[in-house]
Amino acid sequence: MAEAVSPFRQPPSLDLSDDNLAESFRTWRRQMDFYMRASGASEKPKKTQTAIILHCAGPQVQEVFEHFVFDENNDKEDPIKVLGKLHEFCSPQTSEVIETHRFWNVSYRAPFDAFLTDLRTRAKLCNFGAMRDRMIRDKIVFSVTGKVQELLLRERQLDLQKAVDICRVFELTAKQTKEMSEASAHVDKVTKDKDNLPNESNTDSQRKRGGDDRDSRAFVQDCNFCGRSHERKKTSCPAWGKVCSKCSRRNHFSIKCRSVNAIEANGSTENEERDQQYLAAVTSKNKQRVTALMRINDCEVRFQLDSAADVNTICARYVKKTQVSPVKHSLTMWNGTVVQPLGEAVLDIVNPKTGVSASVRFTVVENSFSCLLGVSTIQELGLITVNRGAFIASVTADTLGDLGEASLRVDPQAKPKVLPCRRIPLALQEEVHQ
C-alpha cells in the first residue's frame, strides 16, 4: 500500500538567482527544519532525508548538487553534510561591515513588529555581542518620527524593552483613535443627510408655524469649538471639558484653535530637526477648486492646482512601493497642522490634452488627502501663468523706526472693513492715554 501524502505544506524551492542569496537560504533552511520535524522525516534514514531536502530545494539546487565535491562518497547521502555544502555555496563570504551597513539602512515600515523582526534578524549577522540590544534600541529611536520619537527621547533610562513597549502602545493607540474618528465622522454624515431629507411631517409643521424653523436653530453645524454638528448646548459639544493640544486651553479642539502663538509654535516643537514645507490646502467641500486631470503610471489622476503650495503631493494608491523613498521633511498646512509624509517619488507626469510631460518630485501622502500640484510645477506645465507680481519688493530705512514710503493701490469698488483694535498691555495703558 502506498504511503499517505504528508499533510504538511512543503517549503518553497530555493531560488539561487536571488540578489540576497544568503538571507534567502537562512529563511529556507529554517522552514526546512520545521518541515522535517513536523512531518517526521527527521526520523527516517539519512538517504531518505537527503532525498527529501533535494526534492524540496528544487531543480536549481539539484543541478548544483551534482557538482559538489565531498570528502567521502557516503557524504552525499548525509543530510548534514549536504546542507553544509549548500550553506557554503549560498554564503561564500560574510562581511560584518556590509551587514552593519545594511542594519543601519533599514527603513521604518509599519507594522512596528515587522520592523523590529527585521532589525533583530540583521543584528545577528553584525556580531554586536553585548551591544546588540543597545544598537537595536538606537536604530528604533533614529528611525521613528513625530510624537513617538518625542516619547522615546523623554525616557531617562530607555532600554530596548521599554522602547518596544512605547512604540507598540503608540501604534495601537493611533489605530484606535483613527477608527473612532472615522466612525464619528460617518455617524455625523448620516445624521446630516437624515436631517436634510424633506418629509411631509416636517413640511406640514413648518407650514403651520408659518415658516418658523425652530428645530434648525436648535441644531448647530460646523461648531466653532469642535467643528462637528450637535445640539445647541455646550454639554452636547464633544470639545466641552477637553484640552486643546496646541494651546493647552479647555473647551475646544486643535482644529478650531484660534491661538496664534500655538500655531506658530506647532511648526517648531513637532520635530525641530526636520525641514518643513508649506501645504496650502487638502480638501474642501464648500469652496470651488481649480483642478487638472493628469496621467501618472498609466492612471488618470485629478490634481488640485494650488499656487500657494511649495510641494506636490500624491496619494499612495497612485504610486508603486518601489518608487517611494524616505524623506526628512514634514508638511505644514494652512492651519498649522504638521503632517508626516509617507515618502517621496520622482514620477513622469503627462498632460493628456496638450501632450506636455515633465519629471516631477512628489511627496507621497495618505489616501485621505488630495493630490496637489504646487506653484512651480503648475507654471512649468503651463497650467497657470503668473503675468504680474504686485507686491512691495524692498523697503529701505535710513534711521531706526523709519521704513520709508510706499505707494499702495486700492480697489475703489472694495467695501471698507473695520477691524477691532488690539488690546493694549496694562503697563502701557497710562502712557497711551496721555
Q: How far is CA 363 from the centre of its chain?
A: 11
The verdict on residue 349 lying in a domain is yes
Taking residues 286-297, what's their average pLDDT?
Answer: 77
Number of domains into which the chain is organized: 3
Give pLDDT, residue 392.
Answer: 57
Tell me how far apart the alpha carbons of residues 77 and 94 are, in angstroms, rounded to a whole number.
27
Q: Above 60 in pLDDT, residue 276?
A: no
Q: Are residues 69 and 100 in the same domain?
A: no
The verdict on residue 373 lying in a domain is yes
- Residue, of 289 and 211, whose pLDDT is higher: 289
Cα atoms in the Cβ-side hemisphere of radius 13 Å centred on 188: 19
Q: Are residues 85 and 35 in the same domain?
A: yes
Sequence length of the chain is 434
pTM, two decimals, is 0.33
Taking residues 255-260, what's their average pLDDT?
Answer: 68
The verdict on residue 102 lying in a domain is yes
Per-residue pLDDT reduced to its tens digit, 80-135: 888 888 887 877 656 778 888 888 988 888 888 888 888 888 888 788 888 889 99
The verdict on residue 143 lying in a domain is yes
3-class secondary structure, 216: helix
User: Are the CB atoms for 62 and 56 separated by under 8 Å?
Assistant: no
CATH (domain of 365): 2.40.70.10
Q: Are strands 299-305 and 343-350 parallel, antiparallel or unpaired?
A: unpaired
Cα atoms in the Cβ-side hemisphere of radius 13 Å centred on 304: 21
Cell of 176: 484606535
Q: Are residues 373 and 295 in the same domain?
A: yes
Q: Above 60 in pLDDT, residue 203?
A: no
In the numeric block, the cell 477637553 is attached to 242
111 preceded by a cis bond (ω within 30 of 0): yes
Q: Are residues 111 and 65 in the same domain?
A: no
Q: Are residues 103 and 47 in the same domain?
A: no
Q: State which of 32, 67, 90 marks the end of a domain.
A: 90
Q: Are residues 158 and 78 in the same domain?
A: no
Most confident of 194-203, 278-287, 331-340: 331-340
Q: Are residues 142 and 81 in the same domain?
A: no
Tell me how far apart the alpha carbons of residues 131 and 127 are, in angstroms, rounded to a whole number.
9
Query: For the CA atoms of the chain, what is the radius of gyration?
Result: 32
Per-residue pLDDT reduced to its tens digit, 398-416: 666 666 777 888 888 888 8
The verdict on residue 100 lying in a domain is yes
Q: Are residues 302 and 351 in the same domain?
A: yes
Per-residue pLDDT reduced to its tens digit, 354-386: 888 888 899 998 888 888 888 888 888 888 887
Tell me the residue range of the domain where 39 lies.
21-90
Q: State which of 169, 185, 210 marks the end of a domain.
A: 169
Q: State which of 169, 185, 202 marks the end of a domain.
A: 169
The verdict on residue 412 lying in a domain is no
Q: Are residues 86 and 102 in the same domain?
A: no
The verdict on residue 354 lying in a domain is yes
The verdict on residue 203 lying in a domain is no
Per-residue pLDDT reduced to its tens digit, 206-235: 444 444 444 455 677 788 888 888 887 777
